[in-house]
Structure 1
């Protein structure tokens, strides 16, 4: 009987073994490799142990700090995405006229690949693009400019594209949570004379706190490590390195300058910051929302 119970305990691990093996190959092995490579200066097959020298060189590199600063600027997108997502989700939840059509339209940008989105908006935002053409026709030609070709506007133009593309996902995520709210509470509040603002503040907002905390950390991680495609397609880090971000800089160091040691070191820094954000999200869910289900 005891042997049978011990065999039964091992059965779940046998089912998990193939998945754990794939996770180890796809995720754990590359992480270990990057950590190892970050401690070396690599030239072809020649490796020279450098310790923390790669990290020190990065901290002294002006372009590294430019990339970090730009990533921090992209955090502006996070509150915009959250606030707009909440507002639109509440409007859809209250079934404004045409809400089914709006729900579909909001998801269309998210379905497009980042590459397609970047190419389309590159055509729209260039100096002789669609946006400037419209401004000229409506008498606002003075506002026309090379939106992606100037250091003062390129970064914010990319931010606007990211918000346009990612907003639908956040809205649907929050709306899905709202759809699970007990309808009797909302109806009771309406019968008591509560308006849309009161219902939203007193009932709906407390219910969506867990999913908003999850979406907040997800957006933060995206603004750190999910910008490469936008930058590569739309600006390639220009003009004058004004749109460099960390994941694009990792690519440049590794693929263009073939400096795998520095590239790995920067990847380790980005990985560490991302893990910290995941830890913050786990702490908030555990200690603030008491492990409420998203």
Structure 2
């Protein structure tokens, strides 16, 4: 099967590739064309997933299709953007039609859940690698960024932490668990749900935001650096799911929440006056700390003592001493 036949059979005919609002021209030409309304800006982000690094190989291609798009769309949520479209650069060691069909189904399912359209990409031969570029729209000047946190703000997250990291021993076949424990953890790993609606609700309220991909402590470090502030995380306030605690125990669950990564939950800073209205409106806002003068991220126990661990999250290229 040739490159163009592959694209035509598995991707161009998918419902998510049929155009829609904001897509003036989709798959079929040298470039796609996006239409952004006056007064809006285009938000763009690229994510690459490599077999054996970001996901187990082999794995279920349907689940991989969902995950590969969700983790990219989560960046749009972190900016408060509304999804428009995405491209897929797919590197394959071989053309396996059953694998491609299942992957395309998973990709399409997540694309329709997120209301985002496939508008093009590329296919090449090589080690299995998936690169997504996502495009969204946001009112001019209203995008959430990492650089606006102020001392006195609350540090918040948009839901339970650590479930995806807790699922990793299950994904790798290292451990087993009862369905009531395994299924919700595996769902958080394979089908993370980008917090698009929450990100949009935070526009004009949150002073800084990002999505948690490498662990709470590591990612909050980006907000601290960009905003030139310090962040304090209080250990006892971490939102943890019951399946995670049942599977790893309290200490293991806390470790997964702090540095495990792959949550794709929003972390954001918020003026105290905005907390109650957001919670009253039903948004999943959990306070886990505060913004202070200073720099860096500290983990505090219930007595306010600094218990910051040495390892704060995942790094592809760890810093050398």
Scaled to the shorter chain, the TM-score interval is under 0.3
Q: Which has the higher contact order (CA 8 A, sep 6+)?
A: 1
* TM-score (normalizing by structure 2): 0.20
> More helix per residue: 1 or 2?
1
Q: Which has the larger radius of gyration?
A: 1
> More strand per residue: 1 or 2?
2
* TM-score (normalizing by structure 1): 0.22
